[in-house]
Structure 1
Amino acid sequence: MTKNPLEVLTGALEDKKRYRAYKERAKNLPEEHRAVLAAVERYVLHCPSTPTDGGRAASLFEDLADLFEQAAADGTPVRSVVGEDPVEFVETFVATYSDGGWITAERRRLRESVDRVVAGDGR
């Protein structure tokens, strides 16, 4: 299937629609859940292991919305959702969706560069 020329420049329109739908869902959460989800979202967007593929990223945010909606419906406090260390929660959550992101490519590039230099092919 050929991509819409606009999608080549901006990414898949369907992924953008999914993200907008996630944002709407987040608005309907109780204040405490909404505020913590916003903080989690901000960290996810700055996390080096966040998926770079739009579809995976959309799935990650949809699943976060599911988790927080269910917690709100069950009356589960946000601390019980994210645990004592929210950073650990987010990094573990993101790792299940990650394609490695840019940092994986840079790690591979560094390893290959050092291997080439050590092997005498120092390009």
Structure 2
Amino acid sequence: MAMKWIEALTGSLEQKKQYRQDKARIDGLAEPYGSAAKAMHRYLLNTSGIVDGDVIIRMLTDLADLWETAAVDGTPVHDIVGDDPADFADTFAKAYAAKEWQDKERARFVKALEDAKKEERS
């Protein structure tokens, strides 16, 4: 009972545990993969706009998998991200399309304009 109450306030404890595990995997990568993975992790969290915790965790787990595999295989960082790392990261995030924080504002904006149109007609 207490766990449900705590999770209602703080969010899923399982998600937090998985996040910490994935972050530790990224932090444990050899260079240059560690730096690249950390930079992409930070970029995705700040720019993806994804607000669904399950989707974020799935994306970050896949991110850790990607960079761990690259490190094991010795794949050059450039071969992974190409000439435009931001485009690569944006495309990576789009594969996890989910509800974004902008969706709420879009809906609010559209409703406001529809209400304005109704007032014009009145």
Q: What TM-score, normalized to structure 1?
A: 0.88
Larger helix percent: 2
Q: CA RMSD in A?
A: 1.9
**Alignment of 1:53 onto 2:78:** no
Aligned length: 120
For residues 118 and 14 of structure 1, the distance between their equivalents in structure 2, rounded to whole angstroms, comes to 46
**Shift in Å at residue 7 of structure 1?**
0.5
Question: Which residue of 1 is the match for residue 29 of structure 2?
Answer: 29
Residue identity in the other structure for 1:73 = V
1:102 aligns with 2:111: no
Any residues of structure 2 matched to 1:1-123 within 5 Å, and which?
Answer: 4-47=4-47, 49-120=48-119
Runs of 4+ in structure 1 off by over 6 angstroms are none
Q: Gaps spanning 5+ residues in structure 1: where? A: none
TM-score by length of 2: 0.89
Distance between the aligned counterparts of 1:98 and 1:50, measured in 2?
Answer: 10
Q: Distance in 2 between matches of 1:70 and 1:92?
A: 19
The separation in 2 between residues aligned to 1:67 and 1:60, in whole angstroms, is 10
Aligned identity (percent) is 39
